[in-house]
């Protein structure tokens, strides 16, 4: 960071009350975020670790396993890989909180695309490919087809997937526990926050919390050591925002996933809309801005407000943050500051801007209060 810019951002730090964390999934990004002044990791998307070239074949084995034993074997292989990922994160962020989100996307995202796989089978059939290979590729095609959903973003993902296959979050939590204990042994200070994605019902979080806690206790018993931790949830569905007072009974923190909350709150698919009607909506002033870039204050922002109020009604000091893209957007930061959230989390490169915007938002709010 340029020295003068760093000085100005430093002044902003003396003013702002919002903390600024970063979204990062590797030790390298976490270290960069720290250089940019992040005060922790607000979102570690663990699926990015699953996508790495050396992991993907094992992840596929786990997904396509025909029985519990072979799934367990694949998960056993994944565990040390995840542990080393988390060790890197905890080391880079020693002394600062790291929010690790349990696996979120639907499983088909780790498999070949349905159309590509169908074409592959067809090509092999037409060119009289090896019979054994054709049989294997056909089997894969059937499995990909079985996992394909009409609306995958509203489908078997997040906590739903975790409750269906609890062995996946159990593996991840074991890896988190072992990583935190290992980093502590080497003099580091991991601050562990485990986050459950896509919760809609309080009962989902109650069950996940029980799974997480039991797994951690098993690890603590085996190691003869323990650490403090927090378990929280993303609030990224309208139902979760509306029912936040119930959900808060099982949460130490809420992190607003404003990307999904925008998709589900307004009912528009980001992947489809940004390239089609949304830009003409913005050009024609039907919407003031792209709601995926700047929060729709009255609508989606209203859901965030509901979530905040419900959370605080149950736990006055529940920790509250934002980890959607809006966390790095100055106009959206004004709302998050007004709601008195604890932190915003954004990509490492946006951290300095967010630090600056958080101070500006507070000054603007103070000026407005004085004038009213
Ligand atoms: C969100 O929905 O705002 C979020 C941070 O999660 P995702 O990984 O789905 O963007
Ligand atoms: Mg999300």
Ion ligand 2 — residues with CB under 5 Å?
A: 236, 257, 260
Ligand 1, atom 9, residue with closest C-alpha: 260
Backbone angles phi, psi at 157, to 5 degrees: -145, 175
Residues in contact with ligand 1 by the CB-under-6-Å rule are 43, 45, 104, 236, 257-260, 323-324
Convert the pLDDT of each residue in 259-294 to its tens digit: 999 999 999 998 888 888 998 998 999 999 999 999
Convert the pLDDT of each residue in 237-255 to its tens digit: 999 999 999 999 999 999 9
Examine the pLDDT at 362 and tell me if it is beyond 80: yes
Q: Which residue has the tokens 């090509």?
A: 123
For residue 2, the model assigns a pLDDT of 80
For residue 95, the model assigns a pLDDT of 98
Name the closest ligand to CA 23. Answer: 1
For residue 372, the model assigns a pLDDT of 80
Convert the pLDDT of each residue in 132-187 to its tens digit: 999 999 999 999 999 999 999 999 999 999 999 999 999 999 999 999 999 999 99
What's the rounded Cα separation, in Å, for the pair 79 and 67? Answer: 19
Ligand 1, atom 5, residue with closest C-alpha: 324
Convert the pLDDT of each residue in 287-344 to its tens digit: 999 999 999 999 999 999 999 999 999 999 999 999 999 999 999 999 999 999 999 9
What's the rounded Cα separation, in Å, for the pair 253 and 248? Answer: 8
Please, are residues 208 and 170 in contact by the beta-carbon 8 Å criterion? Answer: no
User: Mean of the per-residue pLDDT values for the chain?
Assistant: 95
Distance between Cα 43 and ligand 2 center (Å): 10
Convert the pLDDT of each residue in 204-233 to its tens digit: 999 999 999 999 999 999 999 999 999 999
Q: Minimum mean pLDDT among 66-70, 93-97, 181-185, 311-315: which range?
A: 66-70
Please, are residues 348 and 32 in contact by the beta-carbon 8 Å criterion? Answer: yes
Distance between Cα 304 and ligand 1 center (Å): 14
Mutational test site, ligand 1, from 235, 324, 345, max ligand atoms within 8 Å of CB: 324
Q: Hey, which residues does 272 pair with through a beta bridge?
A: none
Distance between Cα 83 and ligand 1 center (Å): 23
**pLDDT bracket for residue 4 (50, 70, 90):** confident
Atom of ligand 1 nearest to the CA of 45: 8
Name the closest ligand to CA 328. Answer: 1
Examine the pLDDT at 1 and tell me if it is beyond 80: no
Examine the pLDDT at 129 and tell me if it is beyond 80: no
Name the closest ligand to CA 47. Answer: 1
């Amino acid at each position: 960071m340029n020295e003068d810019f760093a000085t100005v951002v430093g002044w902003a730090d003396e003013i702002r009350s919002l903390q600024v964390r970063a979204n990062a999934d590797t030790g390298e990004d976490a270290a960069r975020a720290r250089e940019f002044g992040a005060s922790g990791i607000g979102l570690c998307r663990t699926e990015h670790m699953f996508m790495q070239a050396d992991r993907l074949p094992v992840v596929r084995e786990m997904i396509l396993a025909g029985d519990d034993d072979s799934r367990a074997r694949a998960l056993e292989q994944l565990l040390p890989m995840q542990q080393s990922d988390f060790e890197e994160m905890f080391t880079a962020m020693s002394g600062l909180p790291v929010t690790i989100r349990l696996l979120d996307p639907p499983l088909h995202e780790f498999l070949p695309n349905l159309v590509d796989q169908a074409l592959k089978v067809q090509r092999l059939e037409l060119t009289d490919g090896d019979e054994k290979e054709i049989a294997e590729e056909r089997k894969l095609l059937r499995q990909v087809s079985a996992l394909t959903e009409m609306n995958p973003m509203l489908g078997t993902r997040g906590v739903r997937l975790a409750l269906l296959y609890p062995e996946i979050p159990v593996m991840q939590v074991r890896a988190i526990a072992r990583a935190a204990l290992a980093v502590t042994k080497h003099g580091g200070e991991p601050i562990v926050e485990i986050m459950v994605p896509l919760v809609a019902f309080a009962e989902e979080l109650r069950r996940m919390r029980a799974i997480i806690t039991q797994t951690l206790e098993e690890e603590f018993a085996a190691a003869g050591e323990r650490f403090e931790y927090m378990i929280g949830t993303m609030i990224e569905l309208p139902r979760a925002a509306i029912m936040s007072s119930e959900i808060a009974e099982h949460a130490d923190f809420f992190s607003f996933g404003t990307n999904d909350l925008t998709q589900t709150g307004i009912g528009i698919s980001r992947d489809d809309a940004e390239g089609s009607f949304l830009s003409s909506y913005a050009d024609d002033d039907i919407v003031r801005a792209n709601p995926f870039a700047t929060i729709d204050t009255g609508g989606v922002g209203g859901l965030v407000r509901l979530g905040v109020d419900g959370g605080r009604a149950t736990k006055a000091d529940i920790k509250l943050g934002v980890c959607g893209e809006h966390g790095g957007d100055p106009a959206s930061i004004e709302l998050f500051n007004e709601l008195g959230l604890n932190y915003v989390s954004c990509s490492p490169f946006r951290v300095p801007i967010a630090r600056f915007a958080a101070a500006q938002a507070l000054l603007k709010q103070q000026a407005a209060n004085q004038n009213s």
